[in-house]
Amino acid sequence: MKTVISRDPSEAARSVARSIAEFIVQNPGSLMCFAAGDTPLSAFAELIKLQDSGEVDLSSVFYVGLDEWVGLGRETRGSCVQVMFDSFYDPAHIPADHVRVFDGLCVDTEAEKARIVDWIQEHGGKIDFTLLGIGMNGHIGFNEPYAGLPEGCIVIGLDDTTKAVSPKYFDRPLPVERGIGVGAGELKKARKILLMATGAHKADIVRKTVLDAPSPSVPASLLADHPDIAIYLDEAAASSL
């Protein structure tokens, strides 16, 4: 796994944004899949700056949502869809018909999974580029420890660590139990994978992802043998490497 270490989170965000912009310029029409969560927010802001300065047209590609908390919709502050629209799709002026995201309020999760798989099929049958964060338990999207490498989409009971971390996203207590998202095996089919982690609190899980043998207990490590994967870190997240 290629490792790119930046001095601080701002520099990491600029590097990630440049890498994404370069891919989009070279591969218009691609299907992109970006994580929500806190880590990529500054990279989204940098990417929008690159668009504003004419270096990339973010509407020249298509987007698929990575995941959502089952039971939460866009009106809930901290839902993945709220974060993605407010921090990226809307400020980047992405046309509505270039985006398909999971509806966490759906009544039929199987139909919702199929709706996302259909979108992937309509765009060449696989995701081209994915930007992923890493959870404190090594999860990617909602692919929790021991979920393996499922293709297509998943509905999954959330790991205790994911539930324990979740209050940081919400402005009121929300009892999240399940997630819906793209499976790790589907993500691994992407042409290019970019992992991003910043902060000393991620140093231990980054070490397990990068240095330890791949293990189902650390989902991010299962991507390590992908032919085009890079992990972008700041010095704090890289401090145990």
**What whole-number distance in Å separates Cα of residue 131 and Cα of residue 195?**
6
> Which residue among the candidates 112, 123, 139, 159 is catalytic per the annotation?
139
Residues 111-140 that bind ligand F6R (CB under 6 A): 133-135, 139-140
Q: Name the DSSP class of 218.
A: B
**Strands, E assignment, the chain:** 2-6, 31-34, 62-64, 67-69, 99-100, 129-132, 153-157, 178-182, 192-197, 229-234
Residues 69-108 that bind ligand F6R (CB under 6 A): 80
C-beta separation of 67 from 181 below 8 A: yes
Query: In whole angstroms, how far apart are CA 34 and each of 41, 67, 160, 240?
Result: 10, 9, 24, 26
Q: Is 39 in the site for ligand F6R (CB under 6 A)?
A: yes
Region binding ligand F6R by CB under 6 A among candidate stretches 21-29, 32-40, 115-123, 207-215: 32-40
**What minimum distance in Å lies between the beta carbon of 225 and ligand F6R?**
20
**What minimum distance in Å lies between the beta carbon of 55 and ligand F6R?**
25
Q: Annotated catalytic, 22?
A: no
> Considering beta carbons, is residue 25 or 45 the nearer one to ligand F6R?
45
> Considering beta carbons, is residue 27 or 161 the nearer one to ligand F6R?
161
Q: Catalytic positions, please?
A: 67, 137, 139, 144
